[in-house]
A and B are shown apart, each in its own frame.
Chain A
């Protein structure tokens, strides 16, 4: 269900008086975001409204060599009267909206007693009207234990299907769920005890620290709302300097986990697996599997950042980034199972949640062209599962061989690891073009019928 803003019921009683007033100001700030995001979005064109619709990738790339501002993450590219491509910084293009938002952030900062949040809001207000968000991003990472969780700014790059460079606006506001955060931090620690090995020659951007928080989200707007992400990991994968210096933080949006489960995961499960899986997983098991998967996914992606991946792979990075996190998650989950952290059924629930999520993204991409990049990665996962014998069509749905699924996932993880760490854009693109997308879409077509109907923004 497309929407540039999503609202969830929230209980503010745990907030002190000052924070309640700050919270209300931040609600107003988030509510200003959709108008901004919708000016960037345009699913008709691969460049959205970030580039002129008649500008080809080649033209932009060629012009960008003489004028690097054209490929800057924070500029809109337009045509001058003479027909040349010119770069307009976001701060100029969206001055009115950004000024209003910045004012609200400063007002919120005045109310909150949380020093980390205060410093971050003041800095973000300044950065929104500046050249980048570097200073306020670093301060945001210090808010890991703040009661209020708040992000606003241009981060993810999925709207830019030309180069995966330009950032789209997003915002979220929530309250820390202390119990779940503590639980998931413990869970995360069990995963983080091992040290990953990396391919020789890979330019690893090692995160200084990896943080996680779980929030009761009140509002979500912009790209994160539109793409229905259950979690987010910042700084962006392109901000490797900051990642190396200050680390990352993942935010899990509990209401979105619940909503996504009931709107997509559960219908897919009932359509595809309910009659074929003897074990029969309860709603709680699969929803918890989705939550655990989200936490592990964000952490695994934090650990697989490379200095040159985004620039080397360009738009094909978007095909892999999300699903690479998911399949690394499954590999981690299998290891946690062997260490006794997860029971067998819990591992299975994570696998079921992942496959249902993959089907959900692929199924929705037929109606949402902006999901096209994401869907490619999930098609690769489904392709490997089908060809590895992990998923087989039956009269009642699909059978699911979990052991084969783990083998297939392991195989795909090796492939993606190679491309993300060292691969070229051309060879990675060739891999995706070689997948039998048609077979995947045809086999799972019935599962896609069970999704919510599209709503217009």
Chain B
């Protein structure tokens, strides 16, 4: 798995997009759950990243199978290298299938029409007052959510509470342990 780890940790241009790498490496959605999801809300940038990563995985697999496949004439019992190779291939196949599934079921987050921009929708950057603090973040699909980069998921308690709200509204972000009142201060669309 060492080669694969190195591959996933490479600092290419994709690694310049820490939000995406953050999600794909530390996803709270395991591969099985991703495959069960019906819709993936992605920005244009996010969609391009998924496609780029898919291509990268396919190219890497081609490279692995063209030149580096270990000998298979030994039985599995005595060829741990072959087993490791098989493991790597299975993981790569799973990742490629995952990305393909996402692309097939992706829905592009587009900025709404001018007359619809008064309300918060996916893609909105919202400034709000919450429990004595001022915060600002963009609401994105779960795949692109990275709160450290001010992108929160539409599926989070706050994301759910904010959708549909307008400037001046106070909404309640509810979860089983806590409720927070959020007053909407500003909405804009930067997509």
- Interface size, B (range): 20 to 34
In the complex, the answer to whether B177 meets A403 with C-beta atoms within 8 Å is: yes
A334 CB-CB contact with B under 8 Å = yes
In the complex, residue of chain B having the shortest beta-carbon distance to the beta carbon of A334: B178
Chain A nearest Cβ from B144, distance in angstroms: 12
B180 CB-CB contact with A under 8 Å = yes
B178 is contacted by which of A196, A197, A338 (Cβ under 8 Å)? A338
Contact with A along B139-164 (1 / 0, CB 8 A): 00000010111101101111100000
B136 is contacted by which of A188, A193, A339, A402 (Cβ under 8 Å)? A193
Chain A nearest Cβ from B17, distance in angstroms: 14
B131 is contacted by which of A189, A335, A337, A340 (Cβ under 8 Å)? A335
Contact with B along A176-201 (1 / 0, CB 8 A): 00000000001111100111110000
Contacts of A189 in B (CB 8 A): 147-149
Given contacts A335-B130, A339-B158, A340-B155, contact A193 B137 (CB under 8 A): yes
**Assembly CA distance A343 to B177 (angstroms):** 11
A193 is contacted by which of B28, B135, B178 (Cβ under 8 Å)? B135
In the complex, the answer to whether A197 meets B152 with C-beta atoms within 8 Å is: no
Contact with A along B92-134 (1 / 0, CB 8 A): 0000000000000000000000000000000000000011111
Contact with B along A134-166 (1 / 0, CB 8 A): 000000000000000000000000000000000
Contacts of A341 in B (CB 8 A): 147
B22 CB-CB contact with A under 8 Å = yes
A348 CB-CB contact with B under 8 Å = yes
- The residue among B135, B145, B159, B177 with the most chain A CB atoms within 10 A of its own CB is B177
Contacts of A410 in B (CB 8 A): 131
Chain A nearest Cβ from B79, distance in angstroms: 31
A336 CB-CB contact with B under 8 Å = yes
- The residue among B133, B134, B136, B149 with the most chain A CB atoms within 10 A of its own CB is B133
Contacts of A335 in B (CB 8 A): 130-131, 133, 180
**Assembly CA distance A392 to B134 (angstroms):** 35
**Assembly CA distance A338 to B173 (angstroms):** 7
B175 CB-CB contact with A under 8 Å = yes
- Interface size, A (range): 20 to 34
Contacts of A197 in B (CB 8 A): 132-134
Chain B nearest Cβ from A338, distance in angstroms: 5
In the complex, the answer to whether A195 meets B135 with C-beta atoms within 8 Å is: yes
In the complex, the answer to whether B152 meets A340 with C-beta atoms within 8 Å is: yes
Given contacts A338-B156, A340-B145, contact A194 B178 (CB under 8 A): no
Given contacts A338-B156, A339-B156, contact A347 B177 (CB under 8 A): yes
Chain B nearest Cβ from A388, distance in angstroms: 14
A277 CB-CB contact with B under 8 Å = no
Contact with A along B64-108 (1 / 0, CB 8 A): 000000000000000000000000000000000000000000000
Contacts of B153 in A (CB 8 A): 340
**Assembly CA distance A186 to B149 (angstroms):** 9
A402 is contacted by which of B132, B147, B159, B177 (Cβ under 8 Å)? B177
Contacts of A186 in B (CB 8 A): 22, 148
Contacts of A36 in B (CB 8 A): none
**Assembly CA distance A430 to B134 (angstroms):** 33
In the complex, residue of chain A having the shortest beta-carbon distance to the beta carbon of B156: A340
**Assembly CA distance A336 to B178 (angstroms):** 11
Q: Besides A195-B133, A341-B147, 7 other CB < 8 A contacts?
A: A187-B148, A188-B148, A195-B134, A196-B132, A340-B153, A340-B155, A340-B159
Q: For the complex of A and B, list the 5 residue pairs with the smallest distance between their C-beta atoms, beginning with the closest.
A: A340-B156, A189-B148, A194-B135, A190-B147, A194-B133
Residues of B whose CB lies within 8 Å of any CB of A are: 22, 28, 130-137, 145, 147-150, 152-153, 155-159, 173, 175-178, 180
Q: Can you list 23 A-B contacts with CB-CB less than 8 angstroms, sorted by A residue number? A: A186-B148, A189-B149, A190-B148, A194-B133, A194-B134, A195-B135, A196-B132, A197-B132, A197-B134, A337-B157, A337-B177, A338-B173, A339-B147, A340-B153, A340-B156, A340-B159, A343-B28, A344-B176, A347-B177, A402-B177, A403-B176, A403-B178, A406-B178
